[in-house]
Amino acid sequence: MSTMDKLVSLCKRRGFLFQSSEIYGGLNGFWDYGPLGVELKRNVKEAWWRDMVSGHDELSAPLGAPTPYEMTGLDCTIIMHPQVWKCSGHYDLFHDFMVDCRESKKRYRHDQVRGRWVTAKGQRIFVATEQAGDEGLAETQQRALKFFNLRAKDVEQLAWEGELVSLTTVEDHARILGPDAKELGTLTPPREFNLMFKTYVGALSGEEGAAFLRPETAQGIFVNFKNVLDSSRVKIPFGIAQMGKSFRNEITPRNFTFRSREFEQMEIEFFCHPVASAEWYRYWRDRRFRWYTDLGLAGERLRLREHEASELSHYSCGTADIEYAFPFLPPGEFGELEGIAHRGDFDLRSHMEGKLVRQGGELVVEQGPDGKPRHRGSGKDLSYFDEESRERFVPHVIEPSAGADRGTLAFLCEAYREDEAPDENGKLQSRVVLKLHPRLAPIKCAVFPLVKKDGMPEIAQRIYRDLKKNFNVFYDEKGAVGRRYRRQDEAGTPYCITVDSQTLTDGTVTFRDRDTLEQWRVKADDCVPELSARIR
Ligand code: ATP
């Protein structure tokens, strides 16, 4: 079993993640967090909110920041005025291309299919696959042999042209052998597919009542920019943070929760003076990268990738992705955890003036065939007046946009280890352990009486109740203590406390560390300060 398969099975067995509506056969692209998963994901979100918003010190400039800055939060609705998505560009531009296979009835995202050109028996075809790397090479070879009716020993008869390339490079659809097809030319030409889920508000079922589930939380921040300015005393530079559900009708949801159709985002829109924006961009890129390393994604599997100029959106002066080498990806490939984008004044201006397009280096309001704005803005003034410099300007925006589910999945992947730990008799046994950062661990500490007698349960229960006031702790008196330790290791619990016979004579208990397996004695009355000092 691959590491990923083992992790997926652990997640189900121990209640981190379940497929949505599983008893009805599941719903592709939707996932539920179980009893341990909900704690883990809440801890990820709380760590983000605390580190970015509620715990932010507004009085001094943090490491790398050009000046001190303010942070504030927001929680807005999932369904917003449809005009929001017209001005943001999501209505016209937020789509992927999909291709359908007439033979297998499967649907693929055009840019996710790849393949190789091959010639045999005088015929040149493109063998498509969903696999990458060596698996893709092996699969295309297998399927080419089958298509040309050749045996494995005739493999030299296949004349390949180079490596795997994207399906998007292929124009002649008649020559494509689809990823699940036996015949040529069964894939349809690529068709656009808007990723926003559509719904209807109120009793109107026609287009008048049409609305969308938000595909990102960011726009809710932009449309509330003026409300926040007018209702609080924030001054530029400042950030507004929001976390919550977003929805995208992904064509091919895959890789566990990595690409889901319903997911949670944690986004900041940071508003600053245009002149200082490049410096703030660099600050946020580095600050967000450090957040992941501080919480345990410290190895080579995490990287910061600065986009090439050609990859940048039409309004952006700089974008970087924080990426993680998820175990389900081929070696050398990384998946995006978070994007940090310099968005200039694109968003605020779009919501003032109407949907913008770039024309000769300038952003101008896109016009419809009648010469009027294609999508009208709010007409509200979203500029900022700086009292000190007496200057009025439209702020520039830096956007660190993270996915709570992708982050949670990366923390789980990084934490999963198999190693050895001694059992009751001192014999080494293999164990599965989630080495989660104590701040993220669903359960912070488990409390055990060694045996269910001699007053041990009573002492353990008292410790449990004291700890429970501050931490999510777990009480367990069932089974051999070694088995109880191992169940906690699998759940990622960083500490265990055991009440044993020595407790009855000197009033101390055993503390055990999940990672080092070190054990030490602490006074039963000092369990709260001992744990507090270790869970930071
Ligand atoms: P991708 O290219 O992987 O589809 P994206 O570039 O479209 O992602 P953004 O629009 O920048 O993603 O969204 C910001 C963040 O939201 C991503 O970095 C990711 O963590 C999260 N996210 C986006 N789409 C999904 C999804 N389908 N499932 C889970 N998380 C997602």
Nearest residue (by CA) to ligand 1, atom 25, is 259
382-406 as b/e: b if 16+ CB within 10 A: bebeeeeeeeeebbbbbbbbbbbbb
pLDDT at 379 over 80: yes
Q: Which among 253, 259, 263, 249 is positioned nearest to 198, based on CA atoms?
A: 249
Average pLDDT on 507-514 reads: 96
The percentage of residues in the chain with a pLDDT greater than 90, rounded to a whole number, is 81
- Tokens for 479, please give them: 């089974």
Q: Which among 103, 104, 110, 145 is positioned nearest to 125, based on CA atoms?
A: 145
* 259 alpha carbon – ligand 1 mean position (Å): 8
Q: How far is it, in rounded angstroms, from Cα 403 to Cα 316? A: 20
Any atom of ligand 1 within 6 Å of the Cβ of 248: yes
Choose which residue among 319, 336, 340, 401 to substitute to test ligand 1 binding: the one with the highest number of ligand atoms within 8 A of its C-beta: 336
Any atom of ligand 1 within 6 Å of the Cβ of 90: no
Any atom of ligand 1 within 6 Å of the Cβ of 219: no
Q: How far is it, in rounded angstroms, from Cα 338 to Cα 285? A: 10
Give me the pLDDT at residue 150, please: 94
pLDDT at 424 over 90: no
Average pLDDT on 436-448 reads: 97
Any atom of ligand 1 within 6 Å of the Cβ of 264: no
Residue with tokens 């789980």: 412
Residues 132-163 pLDDT 10s: 889 999 999 999 999 999 999 999 999 999 89
Q: How far is it, in rounded angstroms, from Cα 180 to Cα 105? A: 9
Report whether 354 contacts 377 (CB < 8 A): yes
Give me the pLDDT at residue 315, please: 64
Indicate the average pLDDT of the chain. 93
Query: Among 170-184, 235-249, 288-302, 307-321, which stretch is predicted with the lowest mean pLDDT?
Result: 307-321
Length of the chain: 536
User: Which is the closest atom of ligand 1 to the Cα of 338?
Assistant: 18
pLDDT bin (cut points 50, 70, 90) of residue 205 is: low
Nearest residue (by CA) to ligand 1, atom 19, is 403
Q: How far is it, in rounded angstroms, from Cα 154 to Cα 118? A: 14
Any atom of ligand 1 within 6 Å of the Cβ of 337: yes
Nearest residue (by CA) to ligand 1, atom 8, is 336
H or E stretch at 35:
helix 35-49
Nearest residue (by CA) to ligand 1, atom 1, is 336
Q: Which among 245, 265, 26 is positioned nearest to 12, based on CA atoms?
A: 26
Average pLDDT on 446-472 reads: 96
Nearest residue (by CA) to ligand 1, atom 4, is 259
DSSP 8-state code for residue 43: H
Give the torsion through C-alpha atoms of 423, 428, 430, 431, to 10 deg.
Answer: 40
Query: Among 13-22, 37-46, 246-255, which stretch is predicted with the lowest mean pLDDT?
Result: 246-255
- Tokens for 188, please give them: 């349809």
User: Which is the closest atom of ligand 1 to the Cα of 407?
Assistant: 20
Q: How far is it, in rounded angstroms, from Cα 63 to Cα 172? A: 54
pLDDT at 423 over 90: no
Give the torsion through C-alpha atoms of 15, 20, 25, 27, to 10 deg.
Answer: -150
Any atom of ligand 1 within 6 Å of the Cβ of 375: no
User: Which is the closest atom of ligand 1 to the Cα of 265?
Assistant: 16
pLDDT at 278 over 70: yes
Residue 178 exposure: Cα atoms within 13 Å on the Cβ side: 25
Q: Which among 8, 51, 39 is positioned nearest to 293, based on CA atoms?
A: 51
At residue 398, the 3 state secondary structure works out as strand
Q: What is the largest CA-CA distance in the chain?
A: 90
* 406 alpha carbon – ligand 1 mean position (Å): 8
pLDDT at 203 over 90: no
pLDDT bin (cut points 50, 70, 90) of residue 370 is: confident
* 397 alpha carbon – ligand 1 mean position (Å): 19
Report whether 494 contacts 515 (CB < 8 A): yes
Q: How far is it, in rounded angstroms, from Cα 294 to Cα 228? A: 31
What's the distance, Cα to Cα, between the start and end of the chain in Å?
35
Choose which residue among 213, 243, 263, 321 to substitute to test ligand 1 binding: the one with the highest number of ligand atoms within 8 A of its C-beta: 263
Nearest residue (by CA) to ligand 1, atom 30, is 403
Give me the pLDDT at residue 471, please: 96
Nearest residue (by CA) to ligand 1, atom 23, is 403
Any atom of ligand 1 within 6 Å of the Cβ of 109: no
pLDDT at 94 over 90: no
Nearest residue (by CA) to ligand 1, atom 10, is 216
Query: Among 142-151, 310-319, 511-520, which stretch is predicted with the lowest mean pLDDT?
Result: 310-319
Beta strands in 112-172, from DSSP E residues, in sequence order? 114-120, 123-129, 159-166
Give me the pLDDT at residue 451, please: 94
Q: How far is it, in rounded angstroms, from Cα 442 to Cα 493? A: 7
According to DSSP, the residues that pair with 96 across neighbouring strands are 193
Q: Which among 28, 12, 88, 419 is positioned nearest to 250, based on CA atoms?
A: 28
- Tokens for 521, please give them: 């004695």
> Is residue 253 exposed (0-12), middle (13-18) or buried (19+ Cβ within 10 Å)?
buried
pLDDT at 312 over 90: no
Nearest residue (by CA) to ligand 1, atom 22, is 403
Give me the pLDDT at residue 426, please: 79
Any atom of ligand 1 within 6 Å of the Cβ of 404: no
Give me the pLDDT at residue 314, please: 61
Give me the pLDDT at residue 136, please: 93
At residue 365, the 3 state secondary structure works out as strand
